Amino acid sequence: MVKIVKSIADAVVMRVSKALPAWQRYTIEKIFPAREPYQPVPPVNVAMFSEEVVAPFLAPVEFHEHRTYSLTNVHVTWNGAVFNNLRLFVPSLVHDWYEPSFQDTLLLRQWVGRKVTAPAKSVAVCHNQWSVENYYHWLADTLPRLLVLRQTHPNITLVLPQPLPPKQLPDYIRLSAAALGFTDYLPVNPRQVLRADTVVVPELTATPISQNPELIRQVRAELLTAYRPAPAPATRRIFAARAATGVRKLINEAEVDALLSEYGFEKVYFEHYSFLEQIKLMHETKVLLGVHGAGMTNMFFLQDDAKVIELLNQEHQVHCYYWLASCFGLPYFLAPCAGTNPAKTSHSDMVVDIATLKQVLDVALD
């Protein structure tokens, strides 16, 4: 019965929300023109594969204009959606196609439910539903927005996504924000809605899976300035493995492990390391190999002469780590894998062609 009532209420709220006029009460504080298209450096081993596999890697990355907005007397969800009076401020979402997923009884929490009032006159929101508990999207999407925010509001209070107990605010969120100068923050959890007098919202500086090269390099430089370990030779070969309970599992992982062991790779589960421990490990790493996923984000902390090898679903390619390696000037090697469930697209489990992986390793480690 509760589910039925909730479903009906959601439908009513969505209908009303969609019928309302577009949000108009905001100030554009700054407009950043679209950057020129960027041509990534092709994978080093591009000659190993067919044109069909390689073609998507050769396309330029396009950029759009982005803005910094200021809004008054609004509400904010824990995952960064700004709303008021049953209307969503769409630039606070990853993309406008996510608007329907927020147009439900969530919007009623302006009047009912647990609310928190911002103690500061102004607060900033630089995260969204993709970056609340996602390592890559926090570092690659949110941190460039903090650089933009810092230009006009260097001392503003930052709204941060606080998970429910027993989880705590991830150390990478707190430490990375501090490295960019933001130490005053207001945590909001999934059961709360924030009410604020003024909210500043910098838009994404690139599409959610690409990066603005200049800004992402600046993020990397500032993180390394803040947390660079003591000098050490980069000699280790690291296999960033996926958690057994996650997506993109390797069906033949035992075979992969055996091969990588022959080449001197250490198998690492980054979720067992603190943020600073991950930085230190990457500083000692010469080759980072991994399945497409959060662990590959740690190329942020590789030394400049390190190499990156990605196990990527060849049917559903997502190029964020390829583009990231290109932005950082790191040699990138592709190891295409076969997906096992087309319905899951890029989240599908994969089968690694062991012979192909051996060829990739021979080229990369030559």
pLDDT of residue 244: 63
Amino acid 24: pLDDT: 86
Structure tokens at 219: 């993020």
pLDDT digits (tens, 9 = 90+) for 191-220: 999 999 999 999 999 998 999 999 999 999
Share of the chain above pLDDT 70, in %: 99
Kindly state whether residues 209 and 118 are assigned to the same domain: yes
- Residue 92: what pLDDT? 97
Residue 247 has pLDDT above 90, yes or no: no
Mean pLDDT across the stretch 163-192? 96
Instruction: Please check whether residues 197 and 288 belong to one and the same domain.
Output: no
Q: Are residues 165 and 233 in the same domain?
A: no
DSSP letter (8 states) at residue 142: I
Query: Residue range 330-348: average pLDDT?
Result: 84
When divided into structural domains, the chain yields a total of 2
Flag whether 56 is in a domain: no
- 145 and 253 housed in the same domain: no
Strand order in the sheet with 332-339: 265-268, 236-240, 285-291, 307-313, 332-339, 350-351
With respect to residue 91, please indicate whether it lies within any of the assigned structural domains.
Answer: yes
In a domain, 192, yes or no: yes
Amino acid present at 102: F
Is 343's pLDDT higher than 80? Answer: no
Q: Evaluate whether residue 255 is within a structural domain.
A: yes
165 and 285, same domain (yes or no)? no
260: exposed, middle or buried (Cβ count in 10 Å: 0-12, 13-18, 19+)? buried
Residue of 262, 277, 265, 261 lying closest to 239 (CA atoms): 265
- Reported as a pLDDT band with limits 50, 70 and 90, residue 242 is confident
Tens-digit pLDDT profile for residues 89-116: 999 999 999 999 999 999 999 999 899 9
Distance CA 246, CA 243 (A): 5
Q: Which residue has the higher pLDDT, 189 or 3?
A: 189
For residue 99, tell me if it sits in a domain: yes
| Per-residue model confidence (pLDDT) at position 70 | 98
Q: Are residues 198 and 148 in the same domain?
A: yes
> Burial level of 268, CB count in 10 A (0-12/13-18/19+)?
buried
Mean pLDDT of 266-270: 96
Q: What is the mean pLDDT of residues 174-194?
A: 97
Asked whether residue 129 falls in the same domain as residue 146, the answer is yes
Do 253 and 294 reside in the same domain of the chain?
Answer: yes
Q: Is 54 among the domain residues? A: no
Same structural domain, 290 and 358: yes
**End-of-domain residue from the set 201, 223, 245:** 223
Q: Are 185 and 160 in contact, with CB atoms under 8 Å apart?
A: yes
Looking at residue 64, its pLDDT comes to 94
**Residue 51 domain-assigned?**
no
Which amino acid is it at 197?
Answer: D
Residues 168 and 248 in one domain: no
Last residue of a domain, one of 223, 257, 289: 223
Backbone angles phi, psi at 289, to 5 degrees: -120, 135
Assigned domain for 299 exists: yes
Residues 118 and 85 in one domain: yes
Answer yes or no: are the C-beta atoms of 319 and 209 closer than 8 Å. yes
User: What are 59-80's pLDDT values in tens digits?
Assistant: 999 999 999 999 999 999 999 9
CATH code of 251's domain: 3.40.50
Task: Name the more confident of 1 and 140.
Answer: 140
Band of residue 245 on the pLDDT scale cut at 50, 70, 90: low
Same domain, yes or no, for 237 and 201? no
Domain range for 196: 21-32+65-223
CA dist 158 and 174 (Å) reads 10
For the entire predicted model, the pTM comes to 0.95
Print burial letters for 78-108: b (CB count within 10 Å at least 16), e (below 16).
Answer: bbbbbbbebbbbbbbbbeeebeeebbbbbbe
Task: List the structure tokens of 20.
Answer: 């309302």
Domain-ending residue, one of 223, 249, 275: 223
Read off the pLDDT band of 20 (50, 70, 90): very high
Across residues 301-310, what is the average pLDDT? 97
Percent of the chain's residues with pLDDT above 90: 82
Residue 159: partners with Cβ closer than 8 Å, 6 or more residues away: 76, 80, 118, 123, 124, 125, 127, 185, 186, 188, 194, 199
